[in-house]
Amino acid sequence: MSKPKHPRTLGETEAQAITRNIRVSPRKLNLVAGLIRNKPASQAVATLTFSKRRIAQQVKKTLESAIANAENNHQLDVDQLVVKTAEVGKSIVMRRFHARGRGRSARIEKFFSHLKIVVAERVEAPAAEPTEQKAA
């Protein structure tokens, strides 16, 4: 006896990748995630490749994992993929202390984040044929 299989929450043309406990604050990670939202997957990878932010390389690995999941697990066309969502969430907070003057201490908080990237296959809308009006 095992647990029943978890139902799929994504659509048929979507795939995701999740990275947990990334050592960066959610505010900083959200700045990088905002660069790739609603962009084609190839353009998002190029944006992250040349980003100067330290965390961009981990975001790029997560995006490439989502693209690989779409290709290998769900047989989606890689050229049609677009970044549907890039969600950032809070994770654990490491608390440290820093010695201050006169025997006091100050709390240092080191934030961690979660990242979830969902890629979806873009459905090309068929071009509508121009209707000709008859001159009466």
Query: For the chain, what is the domain count?
Result: 1
The pLDDT confidence band at residue 124, using thresholds 50, 70 and 90, is: confident
Query: Can you give 29-69 as a three-state secondary structure string?
Result: HHHHHHHHCCCEHHHHHHHHHCCCCCCHHHHHHHHHHHHHH
- CB-neighbour burial class of residue 77 (10 A; exposed 0-12, middle 13-18, buried 19+): exposed
pTM of the complete model: 0.86
Q: What is the domain range of residue 92? A: 14-121
**Percentage of the residues of the chain whose pLDDT score is greater than 90:** 82
Q: Where are the beta strands (DSSP E) in 58-104?
A: 81-99
Question: For position 117, which CATH number holds?
Answer: 3.90.470.10
The two tokens of residue 123 are: 């459905």
- 102 in a structural domain: yes
Per-residue pLDDT reduced to its tens digit, 35-61: 999 999 999 999 999 999 999 999 999
Amino acid at 135: A
The pLDDT confidence band at residue 8, using thresholds 50, 70 and 90, is: confident
- 126 in a structural domain: no
- 135 in a structural domain: no
121-129, Cβ contacts within 8 angstroms, sequence gap of 24 or more: 121/13, 121/14, 121/70, 121/76, 121/77, 121/80, 121/81, 121/82, 122/40, 122/80, 122/81, 122/82, 123/13, 124/80
